[in-house]
Amino acid sequence: MIVVWRVTQNCNLSCPFCGYDRRLTWPRREANPDQLFRFGAVLSDYQRATGNRVLVSWIGGEPLLWPPLTELTVRFGSGFGLSVTTTTNGTPLASSSIRQHLLDHYAELTISVDGIGPVHDELRGWPGGYAALQENVTALAEAKRAAAHGPRLRANVVLMRDTVDKFERLCLELANWGIEEITFNELGGNDRPDFHPGHRLLPEQADWLATELPGLREHLAKHGVQLDGGKGYLRRIHASTRNERIPIEDCRPGAEFLFINEQGRVAPCSFTAQGYGVPLEGVGSVEAIRRLPHRFTEARRRQRLAPCEDCHSTQVFEKFIS
């Protein structure tokens, strides 16, 4: 069971393609730490009762800058026996104490890197950011090797019209940093529809990616790096660049994946939290978690939301298949 939990809407960077860009002025929300702690205990009971391993993934905003997260992660791991991962923009990795915390308490760490050198710096609004990432991720990888334990180091790349042709070079640089796995997303348009049209992938670029990916995957494997993205994922990207819809009749909602937002609503995915989401207060037992797939399926049967008519949930489309 993978549980993706958005714990904060605050971020310290200004990415023009992201809805959490610090320059945007709107009321930001954060999760309730007590609610996290209570549901963590329920997830622990669920894992013990079912034998189904639970992986909790913190996202944001920038989760590692949310003050309660350090203690909560220790509780989720050491106290509840759950595996914990997070996605970060990498700015907190400059702190040696945060790097040590990640080594001691995380199963996986995903770092967002979208271009080489000044390209990444400009996209993230972070002068010198790429060089800082290189230094700090390399330091973390070296510390992991020395300690013989630590999180699986993953990089995620957002592919855009002006950056996709440098994807192979970026992957090889990430391999030199000590990154062990690379995933990618196409640029989405929901968060910043003003930025999307001029930067989205072109159909011929999606075709190029599908052609080049097998060879790049084999090349990276020789460097000890796993490159993800299955055939279904490439099909999703291909369809997006051509404005083709992919409806999903049955994604088995809630069976293996849950999304929880900072308001404490649990849903089949981030696109359906408002339509199908239910308050965590109503999911206070193992049996309640087991009932979620039925509740979500019934909600979809009563009313199929627009996102289900053109699904963009990456976990449905083999993003993590290599």
Which segments of the chain does DSSP mark as H helices, in order? 33-50, 69-74, 96-105, 118-124, 129-147, 167-177, 196-199, 203-221, 231-241, 273-276, 286-302, 306-309
pTM of the model: 0.96
Rounded Cα distance between 305 and 302, Å, is 10
Token output for 75:
């509780």
Residue 235, pLDDT score? 97
Spell out the per-residue pLDDT of the chain, length 322, in tens: 999 999 999 999 999 999 999 999 999 999 999 999 999 999 999 999 999 999 999 999 999 999 999 999 999 999 999 999 999 999 999 999 999 999 999 999 999 999 999 999 999 999 999 999 999 999 999 999 999 999 999 999 999 999 999 999 999 999 999 999 999 999 998 899 999 999 999 999 999 999 999 999 999 999 999 999 999 999 999 999 999 999 999 999 999 999 999 999 999 999 999 999 999 999 999 999 999 999 999 999 999 999 999 999 999 999 999 8
State the first-to-last Cα distance of the chain, in angstroms, to the nearest integer. 20
Token output for 161:
């019209």
| Cis status, amide bond into 224, omega within 30 of 0 | no
Rounded Cα distance between 238 and 254, Å, is 27
> Of 274, 267, 208, nearest to 241 (Cα)?
208
Helix, strand, or coil (residue 268): coil
Could you identify the residue written with the tokens 């049967």?
301
Residue ranges per domain, the chain?
1-88+249-314, 103-244
For the chain, the maximum distance between any two Cα atoms, rounded to a whole number of angstroms, is 55
Residue 228, pLDDT score? 98
Residue 110, pLDDT score? 98
Could you identify the residue written with the tokens 């990089």?
155
